[in-house]
Amino acid sequence: MDILAEASRATRNFGSFTAVSAVDLAVGRGEVVGLLGANGAGKTTLIRLLLGLLRPSDGTVRLFGAPPSISTRRRVGYVPQTLGLYAGLTVAENWSFTAAAFRRARAAIPGNISAWKNELVGGLPLGAQRQVAFAVALSHQPELLILDEPTSGVGPLGGARLWEQIRQAAGGAAGALVTTHNMEEAEQCDRLVMMAAGKVVATGTAAGIIGDRKATEIHCDDPGRVFAVLDASDFAVQVQGAALRVAAPAAAVAGVISRAGLDAVVEVVPANLEEAFVALAGRPEAG
């Protein structure tokens, strides 16, 4: 597989603060890699390293096989969360501005957004705005796409449609790196790289990362007291429909409940990606 962007034990310090620590990451042609992590986990710094906006304090970073530079950066398409569009301009005006900036003034507006040609971007619904942002970023045919939470807020069908476009672009001659802290987006990627506090804490497919991890579902008549008892023992309890759910082994949970003299039916269920993430990422800051 052709590797488009690669970080090898990349580290970046800001004074005494280590933003990124010995990170390995590779994005190949044709694949969609998800970079998952909380704010402050180092995702943004890592992206900047890959783009050459920052230089690594240690380790290596390669973009299209060479250290990142202005010319290689031109082959990257970036869509930030704020979309990078001018809300006060129409779709056509945004298109021609970007086209002119990348010196491709004659590029024609693609079919899927041409219906909104003369609409102000600010007046379009979010899903449409994201499609426009995406099309504009693709207008110079980049080989690597870097997308920040591309489908956030659009709902499942709108999200699936955006993913169609992402897959189409990635399936062609490009690859995509999607940064997110949204589990649904993460599950759409081919594989994930999970970061916390500057380090990579897990890699692989979503199923692979969850592995054999289990959670516990509790059915009881008095959820209030069971919740209080589990909460007091510092278990992370949540409501799940009419039941309760805890990201902890069933035996421990059952023990606490019975010791409190309460009655409940305890069921083992597979953990979900969010629970795996919390377990691996730990607590970012205390208070």
Amino acid sitting at position 70 = I
The single residue among 22, 26, 107, 236 that binds another protein, judged by CB under 8 A, is: 236
Interaction between residue 240 and another protein (CB under 8 A): yes
Q: Least distance from C-beta 174 to another protein, angstroms?
A: 14
Residue that is written with structure tokens 């499942």 in the block: 156
Q: Least distance from C-beta 277 to another protein, angstroms?
A: 5
Site for another protein in 116-155 (CB under 8 A): 120, 125-127, 152-155
Q: Least distance from C-beta 13 to another protein, angstroms?
A: 21
Site for another protein in 91-110 (CB under 8 A): 93, 96-97, 100-101
Q: Least distance from C-beta 197 to another protein, angstroms?
A: 11
Q: Is the Cβ–Cβ distance between 120 and 154 less than 8 Å?
A: no
Interaction between residue 242 and another protein (CB under 8 A): yes
The 16-55 contact track toward another protein, x by CB under 8 A, reads ----------------x-----xxx---------------
CB-based burial label for 168 (10 Å; 0-12, 13-18, 19+): exposed
Q: Least distance from C-beta 9 to another protein, angstroms?
A: 25
Count of residues that interact with another protein, criterion CB under 8 A? 66
Q: Least distance from C-beta 142 to another protein, angstroms?
A: 19
Contacts of 76 (CB under 8 A, 6+ apart): 51, 63, 142, 143, 144, 145, 146
Interaction between residue 84 and another protein (CB under 8 A): no
Interaction between residue 250 and another protein (CB under 8 A): no
Q: Least distance from C-beta 198 to another protein, angstroms?
A: 15
The single residue among 10, 174, 227, 271 that binds another protein, judged by CB under 8 A, is: 227
Interaction between residue 190 and another protein (CB under 8 A): yes
Contact positions toward another protein, by CB under 8 A?
32, 38-40, 86, 88-90, 93, 96-97, 100-101, 120, 125-127, 152-161, 163-164, 167, 171, 181-184, 187-190, 223-224, 227-228, 231, 236-242, 244-245, 247, 272, 274-275, 277-278, 281-287
